[in-house]
Structure 1
Amino acid sequence: MSETNMSLRKRVNTRARLVEAATVVFAEKGFAGARIDDVVHQAGFTRGAFYSNYSSMQELLREVIAAHAATLLQHAEIALGSIEGTPDVDAIMELLDALRPESRTLYILTAEYRLYRLRHPEEGAFQEARREFGRTLAKLVSTVLLRMGRKSTLSDDTLADVVAVFYLDSIASHYLEREDDAGLLRQVVEAIVLGLSEPIGQ
């Protein structure tokens, strides 16, 4: 392996460890309470490792969110692919339930980012990664509907927003022990499948 490749690999590994460490720190302390020293200590690095990879904690938070969103969607695709035959509401609910732990982490991270943006509206929004997440989520939802012989009556972007809002809200409710919201999520899923879609060819 060349010196350049070794250096690149080391940099990738360093960033991955910082992202992993930041996930723990942000989840425990919140973004406002997190410090660079907290992250590098968790990762086993010095401050130099941070500054050689990131210009700010805001940049690191954005990468953390993007990484977890990509992982969640990848696992959702795998879980969807494992469903045999035509999916039904029960199968969809099982899939969503299996993704709860990862979704909880993503919910916390995105909530922290929203709070930061509300306090600092002058900073640029995290738009591109959000759009990419929405596009991939919409594709997943459309794939589920297609396998059920249906198609959405909404645009892909709107459909993804509806699913994301209600699902992430259900994640918060679940961990706050509001058990009645499990039934509400099922009603929303059924509404999307039956009320916001139609049989293909209709």
Structure 2
Amino acid sequence: MSDLTTDAPRPRRVTKRRAETRQRLLDAAGEVFAEEGFGRSTVEQVCERAGYTRGAFYSNFTSLDELFLAMWERQSARMLDNIRASLADSGVQPRPTTVETAVELVLAAIPVDDAWYRITAEFTAHALRNPALKRVMAAREDAILHTILPIVEDALATVGRRVTDREALGRALVALHDGTTVQILMEPGNETVRQARQRLFVTVVSNYSSTDTDRR
């Protein structure tokens, strides 16, 4: 498996056919990584599952590392779209009016997926052994965080609150999400764990935000 040697993959012209090929490879990789584990998966396995040759793979990705990063970007984009949709006033679901309802809507839009967690955990361990790849992941995590924060700020503004420390809030939310995801996956049928998770998010968001009244 080759390592990434730059902080970004080389741009490629994306035609409709190439886009469809990439999507099939991404879908196949998700299945293979979940079943085999990232470290035990091979390009051949992904190609076989997708129904393509190695040539099709390498015309789209330079390595399984790059393939995973594309999967991660796709997953992140879907998550952001779900969060935006959950907080928007659709006419059926009005915008939230309290921190509690905003948190409830956001958490409902972020799936706790066992297979995806296992894939990302294994890839993170792999990246920690590769300085170049670790830098890529850190940069992309920061980019996602800076995309999420304006959405959070907008939701809080709707319920009459303003963020007091953007950086601290962002880091706290990521850490809380990662930690409570493990707890939920360990006890998937335990509603108490899910409720505790929601209360923790409300506490963190409340502690890193304030109302105009609080400032007086």
TM-score of the aligned structures, taking structure 2 as reference length: 0.79
Matched, 1:93 2:98: no
> How far does residue 51 in structure 1 lie from its aligned partner after superposition?
1.1
Matched, 1:81 2:92: no
Amino acid at match of 1:31: F
Matched, 1:140 2:163: no
Q: Which moved more, 1:158-167 or 1:11-20?
A: 158-167
**Partner SS state of residue 100, structure 1:** coil
**Partner SS state of residue 162, structure 2:** strand
Q: Which residue of 2 aligns with 1:189?
A: 201
Q: Which moved more, 1:160-169 or 1:8-17?
A: 160-169
Q: Which residue of 2 aligns with 1:168?
A: 178
Counterpart of 1:30 (choices 30, 37, 56) is 37
> How far does residue 106 in structure 1 lie from its aligned partner after superposition?
4.7
Report sequence identity in percent. 26
Q: Which moved more, 1:125-134 or 1:30-39?
A: 125-134
Corresponding pairs, count: 194
Q: Which residue of 1 aligns with 2:4?
A: none
Q: Which residue of 1 aligns with 2:26?
A: 19
Matches within 5 A, 1:56-75: 56-75=63-82
**Contact preservation (8 Å) 2:79, 2:110:** yes
Q: Which residue of 2 aligns with 1:4?
A: none
Amino acid at match of 1:28: E
TM-score of the aligned structures, taking structure 1 as reference length: 0.84
Q: Which residue of 1 aligns with 2:9?
A: none
Query: Partners in 2 of 1:105 and 1:89 — Cα distance?
Result: 28
What does the per-residue CA deviation read over 1:129-157, in whole Å, with 9 as the maximum and x for residues that have no partner?
222211111122112211110011112x3
Amino acid at match of 2:205: V
Q: Which residue of 1 aligns with 2:142?
A: 131
Gaps of 5+ in 1: 1-6
Amino acid at match of 1:9: K
Q: Per chain length, whose mean CA-contact separation is higher, i.e. which structure has more relative contact order (CA < 8 Å, sep 6+)?
A: 2
Query: Partners in 1 of 2:115 and 2:150 — Cα distance?
Result: 22
Query: Partners in 2 of 1:91 and 1:141 — Cα distance?
Result: 9
Q: Which has the higher helix share?
A: 1
Amino acid at match of 2:23: A
Query: Partners in 2 of 1:89 and 1:105 — Cα distance?
Result: 28
**Partner SS state of residue 55, structure 1:** coil
Query: Partners in 2 of 1:162 and 1:124 — Cα distance?
Result: 20
> How far does residue 186 in structure 1 lie from its aligned partner after superposition?
2.2
